[in-house]
Amino acid sequence: MTRQIGVFIFPDFQLLDAAGPISAFEIAERFVPGAYALKIIAAEPGRVASSSGAAMFAEPLSDEAFDTVVVAGGAGTRQAILDPATLAWVRAASARARRTASVCSGAFILAEAGLLDGRRATTHWQRSAEFARRYPKVALDPDRIYVRDGPAWTSAGITAGIDLSLALIAEDLGEEVSRATAQQLVVYHRRPGGQSQFSALIEMGGQAGRFAELLDWMRARLAEPLTVEQLADRAAMSPRHFARAFAAETGLTPAKAVERLRLETARERVESSSEPIDRVAQAAGFGDPERMRRAFLRAFGQPPQALRRAARA
Q: What is the pLDDT of residue 191?
A: 56
**179 and 232 inside one domain:** no
**40 and 85 inside one domain:** yes
Residue 191 in domain: no
Residue 209 in domain: yes
Residue 212 in domain: yes
**206 and 161 inside one domain:** no
Q: Where a domain ends, among 138, 164, 185?
A: 185
Residue 250 in domain: yes
Domain ranges, residue 257: 198-312
pLDDT averaged over the chain? 89
Residue 222 in domain: yes
Residue 193 in domain: no
**21 and 156 inside one domain:** yes
Q: Is residue 142 classed exposed, middle or buried when 0-12, 13-18 and 19+ CB atoms within 10 A define those classes?
A: buried
Per-position b or e across 54-87, b if 16+ CB within 10 A of its CB = eebebeebeeeebbbbbbbbbebbeebbebeebb
**68 and 155 inside one domain:** yes
- Give dist(CA 45, CA 66) in Å, integer: 18
**25 and 165 inside one domain:** yes
Residue 202, H or E segment: none
Residue 192 in domain: no
Residue 275 · residue 166 · CB < 8 Å: no
Q: What is the pLDDT of residue 208?
A: 42
Residue 278 annotated to the active site: no
- Cβ of 13: how many Cβ atoms within 10 Å? 32
Looking at residues 259-288, what average pLDDT do you find? 90
**46 and 174 inside one domain:** yes
Residue of 104, 115, 166, 202 marked catalytic: 104
Q: What is the pLDDT of residue 215?
A: 87
**164 and 23 inside one domain:** yes
Amino acid at 47: R
Residue 120 in domain: yes
Residue 144 · residue 197 · CB < 8 Å: yes
Give the global pTM: 0.69
Looking at residues 260-286, what average pLDDT do you find? 89
Residue 135 is part of a domain; what is its CATH number? 3.40.50.880
Looking at residues 34-56, what average pLDDT do you find? 97
- With a cut of 80, say whether residue 311 has pLDDT above it: no
- Cβ of 274: how many Cβ atoms within 10 Å? 8
Quickly state the pLDDT bin for 119 (edges 50, 70, 90): very high
Q: Where a domain ends, among 151, 185, 219?
A: 185
Angle at alpha carbon of residue 137, lines to 136 and 141, rounded to 5°: 75
**242 and 154 inside one domain:** no
Q: What is the pLDDT of residue 313?
A: 60
- With a cut of 50, say whether residue 207 has pLDDT above it: no
**234 and 273 inside one domain:** yes
**99 and 25 inside one domain:** yes
Residue 217 is part of a domain; what is its CATH number? 1.10.10.60
Number of domains in the chain: 2
**173 and 45 inside one domain:** yes
Q: Where a domain ends, among 185, 217, 243?
A: 185
Q: What is the dihedral of CA 278, 284, 287, 288, to 10 degrees?
A: -30
